[in-house]
Structure 1
């Protein structure tokens, strides 16, 4: 796999212009994904099935699902539910169209990865990162799953593009960053994470060391991003409440639930029926929140156990095979193809991780995009030490990882060239 990546990287950088590369990449990427969603009729299941069926009801004007236990706890899922309802209203009850929009957002993210790396790194890194993201098999497989991760990831990476590709000093860019993160958060509640990561980056590299005029300028810009992000969320929530599209504000009604699961050493931080049965005894709201908070506090008392749990979770979250084949083949009986794709994913993922490690070792201090990417990667790893883990959750940070891997290829290339030149001299 490492040899194949090296060969492909050499070919796309040596013989293709930027325009030709993008055309071929988009053609291959779209082709793979469209063939996949046409061939494999993955049925909606689990949370994705709940949101799909709720979207169908919303199209018919039936909003009884708003009072279900699912939406009573996870009100924030309404954003994606109504997104699906909009598409169903436009195109009819066509699962293919919902999946096709997954394809559009997947390839849109690919283009953003290329543009970010081209601006913040170099052409070689941009092509490799975009190529790796396009060919990474879970990015293809999840297209047949009605996941909210494609559109949210696109919006979050769009926010990064505005920050890196345009620059925070660009007129009104703070507005577009806030809107992109806010829209992404409407689909999947990770906006605060990306907002915090950007805030840390801007503080370290633009505000510090404090220079009165320049630092205050960037503080205002950062405050503008935060303000737009918050106002957007509040306006959408208020609009949903006023129009009857929601009976509660669009927020997480169980803020301690993910921590309850994530700190369960017996389940290694994954979902488990025991915790679910326990908290179901309590009504959603203050009673359940207090019960979950008590569990979290009890589990944190065993400090050695918590440290051991963190180590086990880190290995599981970053080391186990991606759940893409599991979700994509759910309800389908094709074990040989599923196993083959798992092996392909493992090989490509391991090589990419090695490239990322090499990238960190060879990182150049003058480049600002790399520290931003490292802030996101390290922050994402830290967050998942304490909350529930699923390997599917790696999907949200994959663009960042492949940007790092893309620069890893470039770094090794430069390192080898420098060694050869030194030997020749």
Structure 2
């Protein structure tokens, strides 16, 4: 009797963990959908047009989930057409939308241009001394400038290439846990999602970093029968994640997700000891070891070459939390905080520690209120087009007589993007709840993606928010929405069968 009870307890542990993950992800999907609907409705006049902006993306996704052919064309032809379409559509934006470099983008390009000419300013510029982790991306930019010259269009075209490659990974990852049709719908959703096009013309590290992140997750979850192959795949995934993190420091969310997966594997082993525990853990441990060791190696290489004396570290880690917990700006950038910390004659370390201590002392009710406001802004706000529609670029468009047309089109795309976020959030919530009803274990790829998305969402409850930072979450949501598309297909098919 005691043996039976213990066996049930061991079985309940992984089931409870699975349920907790799915419920948390469903809640995130519903919060994102609600925030997007709230902002879209509040900023739409007349209100009736809200239904149009919300319905068009939803109906397109629904039509794809129900009627998109899953066998024609074949997989190879579909992927070739998908890649070609991404290159053409995003390449057209890269060649026609030419905003000037501003803010951090200008500084990164200037530093890379100087480095390409043999003048390293990274050790003499306070920006790169406070945030040395930008050094690796600057070095990559300098290499491109060395090969092709300081032409911003080259960087926009490389953005196009990495975004197109990411499109293939969206399909590949979704296919691991969803049907062929659903994976194709997710791939097409990423192809046409308006927010991606707003980032193509920017000199941002997001496209390369997100491509490497998805590649890391795709490689480390690749099915392999041989244990030795699993270890190699785990290590290769960790290396790709370290490269992604060197380009843009967000790899920690995937590393945390892998740690959570390892804990869940231990719980599963407690319920089913038919396989050795080390066989379940070693691929993930190889992933984490390769990630941390490769990250240290890259940082050491930056120091050894003299590129930056501080490697790829963050010498002001408090800054993101100082901004993220600022109740006056609701977690966004603050000129007042910047002046207080980085002003002339200021002891930066002392002020950083004092401000961080002050912000971290926020009361629980105020923190919860701030989190609600940040969710509304970060996940409900329209995609930020201000980085491409800069004042100087708007003047240039006005001289061509195109300003009003471009501003009008961008506004409509932003609203359709909000409609996409509503539909994606609902599809993800529905997909997660439908998986919860099954007794089968959560597929490894889907679980790792969900945990990565949850870690990314939770991180921005505490750190600085910007609309463009949600691009990583967007691609994760699009991949995971494939389960929601299968849920819609099964739901409507079962209803149709009952009527028949």
Q: CA deviation at 1:45?
A: 1.6
- Structure 2 equivalent of residue 297 of structure 1: 360
Q: Distance in 2 between matches of 1:144 and 1:96?
A: 8
- Structure 2 equivalent of residue 199 of structure 1: 259
Q: Distance in 2 between matches of 1:365 and 1:98?
A: 47
Q: Distance in 1 between matches of 2:322 and 2:74?
A: 51
- Asked if structure 1 preserves the Cα contact closer than 8 Å seen for 2:216 and 2:238, the reply is yes
1:353 aligns to 2:415 (yes or no)? no
- Structure 1 equivalent of residue 157 of structure 2: 100
1:415 aligns to 2:491 (yes or no)? yes
1:320 aligns to 2:384 (yes or no)? no
Q: CA deviation at 1:365?
A: 4.9
- Asked if structure 2 preserves the Cα contact closer than 8 Å seen for 1:59 and 1:85, the reply is yes
Q: How does 1:360-399 map to 2 (within 5 A)?
A: 360-363=432-435, 364-366=438-440, 367-368=442-443, 369-399=445-475
- Structure 2 equivalent of residue 154 of structure 1: 211
- Structure 1 equivalent of residue 288 of structure 2: 226
The 3 A distance-change label for structure 1 pair 371 and 178 is: closer
Q: Deviations over 1:56-113 (max 9, x none)?
A: 0000111124321211111001111111111111111221111111111111111111
* TM-score normalised by L of structure 1: 0.93
Q: CA deviation at 1:232?
A: 1.2
- Structure 1 equivalent of residue 121 of structure 2: 64
Q: Distance in 1 between matches of 2:489 and 2:303?
A: 55
- Asked if structure 2 preserves the Cα contact closer than 8 Å seen for 1:42 and 1:329, the reply is yes
Q: Distance in 1 between matches of 2:498 and 2:221?
A: 34
- Structure 1 equivalent of residue 334 of structure 2: 272
- Asked if structure 2 preserves the Cα contact closer than 8 Å seen for 1:75 and 1:251, the reply is yes
- Asked if structure 2 preserves the Cα contact closer than 8 Å seen for 1:66 and 1:246, the reply is yes
User: Any stretches of 5+ residues in structure 2 without a counterpart?
Assistant: 1-55, 395-402
- Structure 2 equivalent of residue 340 of structure 1: 412
Q: Distance in 2 between matches of 1:317 and 1:171?
A: 37
Alignment: residue pair count: 420
Matched position secondary structure for 1:208: helix
- Asked if structure 2 preserves the Cα contact closer than 8 Å seen for 1:268 and 1:313, the reply is yes
Q: Distance in 2 between matches of 1:218 and 1:384?
A: 31
- Asked if structure 1 preserves the Cα contact closer than 8 Å seen for 2:195 and 2:414, the reply is no
Q: Deviations over 1:368-419 (max 9, x none)?
A: 2333332222222211111111111110122210012222122101111112
Matched position secondary structure for 1:241: helix
- Structure 1 equivalent of residue 144 of structure 2: 87
- Asked if structure 1 preserves the Cα contact closer than 8 Å seen for 2:136 and 2:302, the reply is no
Q: CA deviation at 1:236?
A: 1.6
Q: CA deviation at 1:276?
A: 1.2
Q: Which runs of 4+ in 1 moved over 6 A?
A: none
Q: CA deviation at 1:213?
A: 6.0
* CA-atom RMSD in angstroms: 2.0
- Asked if structure 2 preserves the Cα contact closer than 8 Å seen for 1:255 and 1:289, the reply is no
Worse-superposed segment, 184-193 or 314-323: 314-323
Q: Distance in 2 between matches of 1:3 and 1:185?
A: 37
1:186 aligns to 2:246 (yes or no)? yes
Q: Deviations over 1:4-26 (max 9, x none)?
A: 33334523436432223222222
Q: Distance in 2 between matches of 1:213 and 1:14?
A: 37
Q: Distance in 1 between matches of 2:84 and 2:285?
A: 40
User: Any stretches of 5+ residues in structure 1 without a counterpart?
Assistant: none
1:54 aligns to 2:118 (yes or no)? no
The structure whose Rg is larger is 2
The 3 A distance-change label for structure 1 pair 404 and 213 is: closer
Q: Deviations over 1:222-251 (max 9, x none)?
A: 332222212212222222212211121311
Q: Distance in 1 between matches of 2:388 and 2:421?
A: 18
1:4 aligned to which of 60, 63, 72:
60
- Asked if structure 2 preserves the Cα contact closer than 8 Å seen for 1:207 and 1:219, the reply is no
- Asked if structure 1 preserves the Cα contact closer than 8 Å seen for 2:213 and 2:240, the reply is yes
- Structure 2 equivalent of residue 308 of structure 1: 369
Q: CA deviation at 1:171?
A: 4.3
The 3 A distance-change label for structure 1 pair 374 and 238 is: closer
Q: CA deviation at 1:212?
A: 9.0
1:261 aligned to which of 318, 323, 342:
323
* TM-score normalised by L of structure 2: 0.80
Worse-superposed segment, 270-279 or 146-155: 270-279
